[in-house]
Amino acid sequence: MFELTKIALTEGVWQGVLTRIEGAAEPRIDVRHLDRPVKGVTLQADGGGGRWMLRIPIPAVAIADGVQTFTIREAETDTDLGSFTLIAGEALADDIRAEVDLLRAELDMLKRAFRRHCLETR
């Protein structure tokens, strides 16, 4: 089990710290945008002790008008670690679109898990 803490979003790179809470070896991270894997994600040990620095480069195609949501998961256990959202274009205050986009991303994740489960039970 892991805990993800955001550090910063600067120069097109989202940065965070991943901390091991219990058990588990080094995590395998899966970051997705529009249900596609994000390339260039790095995970580097931070002095041992079950901490890693996570860096997620924002792809140029994700810098567009509207709401863009990135989901971060631990691939081995298919555990949701967190997400972040970019909103561009006209100023959006208290916009429900970010929440709807996150729900869509989570629904896509649930569909994948359900399909995988159905294939395993055959």
pLDDT at 99: 79
pLDDT at 7: 95
pLDDT at 5: 94
- Which pTM was predicted? 0.76
Mean pLDDT in consecutive groups of 10 residues from the start of the chain, 122 residues = 93 95 83 95 87 96 89 91 87 68 89 89 78
pLDDT at 91: 55
pLDDT at 72: 97
Residues sharing a CB contact under 8 Å with residue 33, sequence separation 6 or more, in sequence order: 59, 62, 68, 69, 70, 71
Q: Which residues of 47-60 are buried (b: 16+ CB within 10 A; e: fewer)?
A: eeebebebebbbbe
Question: How wide is the angle at C-alpha 102 spanned by C-alphas 83 and 7, nearest 5°?
Answer: 20
**Domain architecture of the chain: domains with CATH:** 2-120 (2.60.40)
Question: How wide is the angle at C-alpha 33 spanned by C-alphas 107 and 76, nearest 5°?
Answer: 70
pLDDT at 24: 65
Token pair 């219990």 is found at 22
